[in-house]
Each structure stands twice: as C-alpha cells, then as structure tokens.
Amino acid sequence: MQGPAPIESRFPRPSVMGVVNVTPDSFSDGGVNFRAEDAVASARRMFDEGAAVVDVGGESTRPGSEGVSADEELHRVVPVLEALDGIPLSIDTAKAEVARRAIELGAELVNDVTALRGDPELAGVVADSGAFVCLMHMQGEPRTMQDSPTYDDVAAEVASFLEERLRFAVDAGIAEERICLDPGFGFGKTVEQNFELLARLGEIVALVRPVLVGLSRKRSLGRILGDPDATTGPLSASLAAAVEAYERGAAIFRVHDVREHVEALTVSAALR
Ligand code: 9MG
C-alpha cells in the first residue's frame, strides 16, 4: 500500500505559501483581511498568482500580541475556510480545536508557531488526520519574545530545538515525511540573530526536512535598512532575503506578495 505523500513532493522547492491574516492588527498587513470577504478575495488572488498554498490565521503572532480564545479564532477563520473550497489551504494555529475544524474544511497543513508546545492535543489531531505540519522555532512567546532574546549560538540552538521537536512529533505518531521545519525569523531574535540564522540556514537544512521560511515584511529587514524603529520591511528586502534563503536550501516561502516572490524565485531556480 502506498503511504501518504511526502511534503517535498507536494511542495517542491521553491514553493510559495501566501499569508492571509484574518486579524485586526497583523504587524505587516495592518488588518486588511479582517473582513471575511476581503480575506477570501486575497486568498483567491494569491492562488491565481502562483501560491502553492494559502496560510489562513485568526490569531496575531506579531511581537507584543496577546492570544485570542479558540472561539474567537474559529469565528474569524471558519467563514474564510468555508468560502475557499477548492483552494489549497494551510491553517496557522497552535490550537487543536481550530486545527481539527480547519482540517475538516480542507486544510492540508497545520502551521504551528509553537512547534506542538502550545496545546497538548494538537500532535494527536495532526497524527490522526495525516495533515502536513510546520514546526517553528520561537524563543519565549509573542507577547514578550522581543524583550531580550539571548543565545550563545543562535543557529546551533535553533537547529537543536527543531531536531528535538521533530523527534517529539514523530514519537507522537506524525509521519516524518509530513513534517517541515522553520527557524522562526523574528520570533525571539534580534536583527543580528535573524541575519546570522539566515547566513547559517544550511545548519537547519542539514536536519534533512524541508525548511519553510517567513521573512516577508519582517521588521529586521526594515531595521537593517536604517530605520531602528521599523515594524515592517519593504518588498525589495523581502525578495532579497527570500532568494538568499532559497540559495541556502529553503523550500517553502511564507509571503505576503505572492506574484513578486514567485517571479523572483522562478528566476533564481532557473539559474541553479
Ligand atoms: C504565523 N507566522 C508568522 N510568521 C511566521 C513564520 O516566519 N513562519 C511560520 N511558519 N509562521 C509564521
């Protein structure tokens, strides 16, 4: 009998994941998709522009943000997922209840920024459903993670964390070939730590699971360009960072500007 498809077959390198935040306050898109109909239109446009999957989230994870209840998260994402029948979907959540409902509505991937540490039931939901899962590194929690992130060796510590979470997921019954890993740019990392992690992305790629990166519009990009108070980064810098990550082995790119990333990564891939 044939087993489930490996994530690298479903998302060949490079694949683009479009971001649809159904939140009032997302750091990078300022709540433009808070109305369900706007979120649905954005998701459809991203798919038309070449996104392999669209990541729908109802809880902000920007630095300083507070969590929301499962009911509120469901209230935000369910109408969007229902309306997107036929579009390949990922659910950005750390909650088992939200993931379960999203998978029922067709989500094929669970994007969990807590790497299965946030809700003890989430690993079981992923294992039982056979969904893909993204395990992301974060130091601390969104509310406080940028207060004073500290590492002796950022790349080594992120790699070791992801290796431990990969083992945890597999021990919980999730097939290894359904898992991708994410170093979590901007999640409990200074500008310097983010850039060191990008420069040493090969150490995460060496864990031999597909690597997903979210660099699009991240504040470190605005800050490296000279604005010490930047809360977002521009498209030009997002594209440069994505291409650098691709060169270092990243497979899946979580982005806001789908068309531009598809074009940049297609050119980069043609040169390989
Ligand atoms: C939800 N979210 C925000 N930023 C992200 C990133 O960099 N990676 C993943 N997997 N999810 C993210």
Residue pair 209/180 in contact by the 8 Å Cβ criterion: yes
272: exposed, middle or buried (C-beta count within 10 Å: 0-12, 13-18, 19+)?
exposed
Give the CA dihedral 167, 245, 237, 64, nearest 10 degrees.
10
The HSE-up count of residue 61 (CA atoms within 13 Å, CB side) is 27
Question: Would the CB of 214 count as within 6 Å of ligand 1?
Answer: yes
Told to judge if 219 belongs to the known catalytic residues of this protein, a careful annotator would answer no
What separation in Å is there between the alpha carbon of 135 and the centre of ligand 1? 10
Q: Is the pTM of this model over 0.75?
A: yes
Which residues lie closer than 8 Å to 120 by C-beta, 6 or more apart? none
SS3 15: strand
Q: How confident is the model at residue 1 (pLDDT cuts 50, 70, 90)?
A: very low
- In the numeric block, the tokens 């500290």 are attached to 150
Average pLDDT of the chain, as a whole number: 95
Told to judge if 254 belongs to the known catalytic residues of this protein, a careful annotator would answer yes
Statement: residue 40 has pLDDT above 80: yes
Higher pLDDT pick, 187 / 62: 187
Nearest ligand 1 atom to the CA of 136 is: 10
pLDDT in tens, 140-190: 888 777 878 999 999 999 999 999 999 999 999 999 999 999 999 999 999
Residue type for position 9? S
pLDDT in tens, 88-134: 999 999 999 999 999 999 999 999 999 999 999 999 999 999 999 99
Question: Would the CB of 93 count as within 6 Å of ligand 1?
Answer: no
Residue whose CA is closest, atom 5 of ligand 1? 214
In this prediction, residues 48-69 reach a mean pLDDT of: 93
Statement: residue 223 has pLDDT above 70: yes
- Options 100, 178, 218, 223, the catalytic residue: 218
